[in-house]
Amino acid sequence: MFEPILKQLACPGQRNPCGGQLNLRSDHSVPGGNHLGCEDVISGLLCCEACGQSYPIIAGIAVILPDWSDYILARCRHISALPAAALPVEAVQLLTDPNARHRRIAQVDNWEATDVLNGYLLSHFLFHALDGPGDLDSIFSSKRIAAQVRQDWPQTPLFLLKSWLTGDLLSGGVLELGCSVGGTVPLLAELLSGPYLGLDMSIRSVAMARRLILGTADAARGLLPEQFALSAKDGLDNATRSRLRGLAVDFVVADALRPPVAKHDWDVVSAMNMVDFSPDPVSFVQMQADLLRLGGRCFTTAPLSPHSPAYKALSDWSSGSASSPADVLTGAYRQAGLALSQWQVDLPWIVPRGPRYVEYFSVDAFLLERLSSPEADIPKETGEWCNDNNTGQVSS
């Protein structure tokens, strides 16, 4: 963990939100040599001075979860493969405690599976393979698939996020809920002049993001697949690395529904394909709004289905009269105090699965702005969701 990001962190609390300041106890660190040029804390603890809760730093990754012991035990196969210097004393004691063995979960969720991680790697970093006409051949053996992906990439949400924010300096910082392997950072690097913090529940995804984006040392090697889709050199080019140098940028393990950060503090909160998978979509939408400073913007995408539990929960909370998933989602964000700025529906989300196999699914994307309060006058959005180009912008 890079110490500059510590200023952006706050204690999520054990049962109720705490918000206390987290202090660092570093057991082992390595000097610069990464892309940020600062010391990386490999193992230690983050301790809340308000409630006394502590959170481990494992292989450079802060695990800021109230139930972090269960989380570690569920991933003991990967975490036990780490060198001793990568683990704080508390984690070593937990992993070697015979009384804790019955708490180990044999099957970890699919988000830690190597094929899933490789799919996200290729999906997030496709822009590297689109620089030249033949570069996609290194990913796909099918010319038909390569041509289709090249055609559709400019319509993907990752590309759209950059185009919607281009021209703005993000000095107040970017918080990404569900950052996966960190592919948004290279796309936004030229806009960042403040902190970036990525949160994800997959420790292997966070390890990959730190390796590819931040150029961290090999302390997390045990968390990475022996063979994965990209090498460290494929993360950032030299120009992008120089833009990030001196900024507070990092990725941590945390629950997106209980983000370990202060409210009303961020320029941009991004959550791609998160709200529809949340166990409490209403709280997730309201939480996104609460994280933004006045004038801050929320970027969200969702493959929301009319048959999903999230659709019903959001529809009931907003008005109950919406006629489409896009209406339901914007109605919910309006209820939370956000005004719709731009939208685009039926976008391709591309997930490469193999040299002749790629998955597509359709998502809707929205950029919304934080108003002074939910009671403020919010402009009524107009326009048909299914117009010719499935896109729109609200005039001021």
Say if residue 78 is in the same domain as residue 165.
Answer: no
Whichever domain contains 40, its CATH number is 2.20.25
Say if residue 191 is in the same domain as residue 306.
Answer: yes
pLDDT attached to residue 215: 86
pLDDT attached to residue 174: 96
Mean pLDDT of 61-78: 93
How many domains is the chain built from? 2
The pLDDT of residue 229 is above 90: no
- For residue 287, the Cα-to-chain-centroid distance in whole angstroms is 15
Output the CA–CA distances (angstroms, integers) from residue 115 to 42, 110, 228, 234, in the order listed.
Answer: 27, 9, 9, 18
The domain containing residue 22 runs over which residues?
A: 3-109
Q: Write out pLDDT tens, residues 112-170.
A: 888 888 888 888 877 666 654 456 777 788 989 988 988 898 889 988 898 898 777 77
Rounded-to-integer distance, Cα 267 and Cα 165, Å: 11
Say if residue 170 is in the same domain as residue 228.
Answer: yes
| Max avg pLDDT among 44-48, 133-137, 205-209, 242-246 | 44-48
CB atoms within 10 A of CB 76: 18
Q: Is 240 helix (H, G, I), strand (E, B) or coil?
A: helix
Say if residue 59 is in the same domain as residue 124.
Answer: no
Q: ∠ CA(9), CA(13), CA(14), 5° rounding? A: 145
Say if residue 213 is in the same domain as residue 253.
Answer: yes
Q: Point out the domain boundary residue: 76, 109, 142.
A: 109
**Alpha-carbon dihedral of residues 220, 224, 230, 232, nearest 10 degrees?**
10
pTM assigned to the model: 0.90
Which residue in the block uniquely carries the two structure tokens 């400019």?
154
**Which residues, other chains included, contact 175 with Cβ-Cβ below 8 Å and sequence gap of 6+?**
196, 197, 199, 259, 261, 266, 268, 269, 270, 291
Say if residue 246 is in the same domain as residue 300.
Answer: yes
Say if residue 202 is in the same domain as residue 268.
Answer: yes
Rounded-to-integer distance, Cα 10 and Cα 199, Å: 13
Return the closest-CA partner of residue 126 out of 382, 390, 352, 384: 352
Whichever domain contains 272, its CATH number is 3.40.50.150
Phi, psi (deg, nearest 5) at residue 327: -65, -40
Say if residue 179 is in the same domain as residue 157.
Answer: yes
Return the closest-CA partner of residue 190 out of 170, 213, 216, 220: 170
Q: Spell out the alpha helix ranges (H) of the chain.
A: 68-74, 76-79, 89-96, 114-124, 143-152, 157-165, 184-188, 203-214, 238-244, 281-291, 309-318, 325-335
